[in-house]
Amino acid sequence: MWIGKPSPMNVHALQYNIQWEDKSANYSQLQALIQQLRPQPEDMVVLPELSCIGFTMRREGLAEEPEGETSQFFAQLAREHGIYLVGGLSWWGHGGLGRNMALSFGPKGELLGSYAKQHPFSYGGESEHYQPGEGFLHFDWHGCKVAPLICYDLRFPETFRHLAYQGVEFYLVIANWPAARVHHWDSLLQARAIENQAYVLGVNRCGEDPKVAYPGSSRLIDPHGRVLSSLDSQPGHISARLDLEDLRAYRARFPALNDLRLEQLGLSSARV
C-alpha cells in the first residue's frame, strides 16, 4: 500500500516468512519480492533482521566474512534495481562468536556502512553466540540522516538519543521480534519516534521458526507518534513517503531536542 504520493523519499519495508537457515531459498524469495515490488530508482528497501537465515544461534555454515555471499547478494540487488537496501546477516566476530549485522547499500551496490547489534538478546541466549557491537552508524539518503538498529536495541533509548544528537531523522529497526511481546514492539516504536522527533520504521518478520512465532506488525511511525502505515501478521510490504520538510518544521516549532542533558549521555556541548 502507498501512503502519500511518490517522491524521492520513498521507503519500502518487506515483511516475509524467513526460511530457516536456508540462504538459497531466501535469496530466491527476496529476488521475487523485490521484482514484484518494482521500486523506483533511489527508493529505499528495508528487510528484517538476519534476513536470509532467521534468528538462529548457529554460526557454522551461516556466519560470513564481510565480503561473503549475502553481502554480495545485497549489493547485487541494490545495483540491479538502483535502490538503497538495508538488510541483516551474520558475520564472524572474535573467538568464534558471530556478529548480528545490518548492512546498508547504495544504488550502485556500494556499501554505505555496517552496524553490529549493540544489545544481543541475552534472555534468548543471543549474547552467548553473538558479540555486542560498538559505535553508531548513520548514512545519507537524499539529505536525510538514516540510522539502522536491530531488534532488542529498541529497548535502549540512550542508543537512539546518541543518534538524535548526531542529527538522525529516520531510524530503521530491523527485527525478529516475537509474537509474545508484540505490544512492547508497538509501544516502543512509538515512544522512540515521539521522544526523538523522528520517523521510525520497524521491519519485523512473520511466520515461525523452530522455536518462536513472529507477529509481523511492521509499521512506519511519524515524529508525532502516529502510525502512518502498518501490516498485520501476513507477508506483505509497506510503501510510504517521508516528508522531511514537515519533520524539520515540527522540530523547529517544538525544539525539545535542544534541552537534552548532554552530560547524562557522556557527551560534550560540541555537536558531532
As annotated, the active-site residues are 49, 117, 151
Other beta carbons within 10 Å of 90: 23
Q: Are 28 and 16 in contact (CB under 8 A)?
A: no
For 141, residues 6+ apart whose C-beta sits below 8 A from its C-beta are 44, 84, 170
238/37 Cα distance (integer angstroms):
10
- The SS3 call for residue 64 is strand
Measured in whole angstroms, the distance separating CA 146 from the mean position of its chain's CA atoms is 10
DSSP string, 184-208: HHHHHHHHHHHHHTSEEEEEE-EEE
CA angle 163, 125, 157 (to 5 degrees): 20
The secondary element (H helix, E strand) that includes residue 60 is: none
> For the chain, percent helix, then strand, then coil, each to nearest 5?
30, 30, 40
245/251 Cα distance (integer angstroms):
10
52/20 Cα distance (integer angstroms):
8
Q: Are 250 and 224 in contact (CB under 8 A)?
A: yes
Cell of 166: 548526531
DSSP category for residue 245: H
Other beta carbons within 10 Å of 62: 19
